[in-house]
Structure 1
Amino acid sequence: MSGWTPPSSQVIADQPPAPDTGTPDGQRTPGGSRPELSQACKPTDKPLTALVPENGKGLTTADYPIFWFYIPYSADEIHSIEFSLHDRNETATLYRTSIQLTQTPGVIGISLPQNAKYALKVNESYHWYFTVKCEPEETFEEDDVVLEGWVTRVEKGSNLVLWYDELTNLAERYLSEPGNSEVKRAWVELLKSVGLEGIAQEPVVGVVGNSEDN
């Protein structure tokens, strides 16, 4: 860990706010106009959650950012999960993939394939959806549990809160050094900084996806 200083919630709070990208707010937990959970989904103590700020928006400098979610279900408790990424106006789908879960509920990351056609463009915003279908007989979209949010790629060196980059950096260190209390503390503080302290003690399972379904 030499040479690395973990970010704190105060450091993140003191950084300049992200610029207004003109995109609508996202939805990091089930709710809004939808029921809190699909009737087909098993009740859970903590909700399905996208690890993003409350407005569902975040910045990155990465060509291929990783998107992180807390999934309170094991593989045998749901039918399917789909992640999709679209351009700002949703005229094109950049990426779509089905997610294979493990038997361990927890935080997972979804990565984009390292292929130029999936690379995010600088100063462009993208709209993602994370859709859970709990039963195979569900035929109507309103039965799905859907989260949505935004990612905007910015130039490297930007003096802004790079949420996706900060989160991925810590998650990867958490996975590689699970016994490191300093990394654990930084992870908890980062999630607390955006009101996700309820997820901070959940296990980080790993990164999935990265298949070229679309």
Structure 2
Amino acid sequence: MPRNGAPTGRRRAGAGRSPECPSSLTRLTALVPGDEGKSFLASTVAENPTFWFYVSQLPETMRSGEFVLQVLDGKDVQNVYRTPLTLSGKPGIISITLPAQPQYFLKADKKYHWYFNIYCGDPEKTSDNFYVDGFVQRQVLTQALYNQLKTAKPKEYIAYSANNIWYDALTNLGQLRRTNPQNATINKDWVDLLNAIGLQDIAKEPIVQDYKLEK
């Protein structure tokens, strides 16, 4: 459960605003800790973390997405990064990695709010969309965690999970699953990790796309 006062977002897209949006888009899901449709604040030690989503099959007219990252400073909200994305339309899990450029790096102990949305048509003609959103906070990598990660290699996700560093546990495990799709242990650990946060329905979906953002 979120700590008192911790912000929550939308983990599952739920109903759209427009009858023109296909109902399959209601399955858009962020792979983050949460409770049913709600997403909870989770941690990373990465300056440019990776975010993971499940996207249902998309018709050709609805493959325009957008990823937005904002920093929260008291009541002040500022855009850090915003980019359009062209989606493949294949059903499955995608990952989106922030650019490895200092102006976009997450500062330690600030809270960041991210949004991922898919437009119901041409974004220049409609603002109707399905979206999920959530919160991430970067922690400083301690010497103790560094040592644990070194010992766990290449399964760093074991150390990340033990220290509640959600984004990096999922990313390390997801990358291993992508490169070792037949590995039974990796597949089981991936399913277990998603089951633990109540996302059993998408735990066995394939990883179909990796977006490494560049600017």
- TM-score scaled by structure 1? 0.80
Q: Which runs of 5+ in 2 are unaligned?
A: 146-161
- In the alignment, is residue 56 of structure 1 matched against residue 59 of structure 2? no
Distance (whole Å) between structure 1 residues aligned to residue 201 and residue 25 of structure 2: 10
| Partner amino acid, structure 1, of 2:91 | P
Secondary structure in structure 1 of the residue aligned to 2:200: coil
More displaced, 90-99 or 113-122? 90-99
What does the per-residue CA deviation read over 1:74-125, in whole Å, with 9 as the maximum and x for residues that have no partner?
A: 3615141000000014532111111122242110110111111111111111
- The within-5 A match list for 1:18-57 is 20=3, 22-31=5-14, 35-36=15-16, 38-44=18-24, 47-54=27-34, 55-57=39-41
User: 1:110·1:208 contact (CA, 8 Å) conserved in 2?
Assistant: yes
| Partner amino acid, structure 2, of 1:205 | V
What does the per-residue CA deviation read over 1:164-203, in whole Å, with 9 as the maximum and x for residues that have no partner?
A: 0110011000011111111000000000000001001111
Large movers: runs of 4+ above 6 Å: none
- In the alignment, is residue 85 of structure 1 matched against residue 85 of structure 2? no
| Partner amino acid, structure 2, of 1:28 | R
Distance (whole Å) between structure 1 residues aligned to residue 89 and residue 7 of structure 2: 34
**Equivalent residue, structure 1, for 2:83:** 97
Distance (whole Å) between structure 1 residues aligned to residue 21 and residue 124 of structure 2: 11
- Looking at secondary structure, tell me which structure has more strand per residue: 2
**Equivalent residue, structure 1, for 2:107:** 121
Secondary structure in structure 1 of the residue aligned to 2:99: coil
User: 2:66·2:117 contact (CA, 8 Å) conserved in 1?
Assistant: yes
- Looking at secondary structure, tell me which structure has more helix per residue: 2
More displaced, 78-87 or 129-138? 129-138
Secondary structure in structure 1 of the residue aligned to 2:20: coil
Distance (whole Å) between structure 1 residues aligned to residue 4 and residue 141 of structure 2: 17
Distance (whole Å) between structure 2 residues aligned to residue 196 and residue 60 of structure 1: 20
**Equivalent residue, structure 2, for 1:201:** 204
Judging changes above 3 Å, is the alpha-carbon distance between structure 1 residues 53 and 38 closer, same or farther for their aligned structure 2 residues?
farther
- In the alignment, is residue 156 of structure 1 matched against residue 152 of structure 2? no
Distance (whole Å) between structure 1 residues aligned to residue 90 and residue 180 of structure 2: 19
User: 2:40·2:134 contact (CA, 8 Å) conserved in 1?
Assistant: yes
**Equivalent residue, structure 2, for 1:106:** 92
Judging changes above 3 Å, is the alpha-carbon distance between structure 1 residues 37 and 163 closer, same or farther for their aligned structure 2 residues?
farther
Distance (whole Å) between structure 1 residues aligned to residue 138 and residue 123 of structure 2: 38
Paired residues in the alignment total 191
User: 1:38·1:145 contact (CA, 8 Å) conserved in 2?
Assistant: no
**Equivalent residue, structure 2, for 1:192:** 195
Q: Which runs of 5+ in 1 are unaligned?
A: 1-16
Distance (whole Å) between structure 2 residues aligned to residue 70 and residue 200 of structure 1: 10
User: 1:108·1:204 contact (CA, 8 Å) conserved in 2?
Assistant: yes
Identity %: 36
User: 2:97·2:213 contact (CA, 8 Å) conserved in 1?
Assistant: yes
Using the TM superposition, give the Cα deviation of residue 46 of structure 1 relative to its aligned residue in structure 2, in angstroms: 7.0
- TM-score scaled by structure 2? 0.80
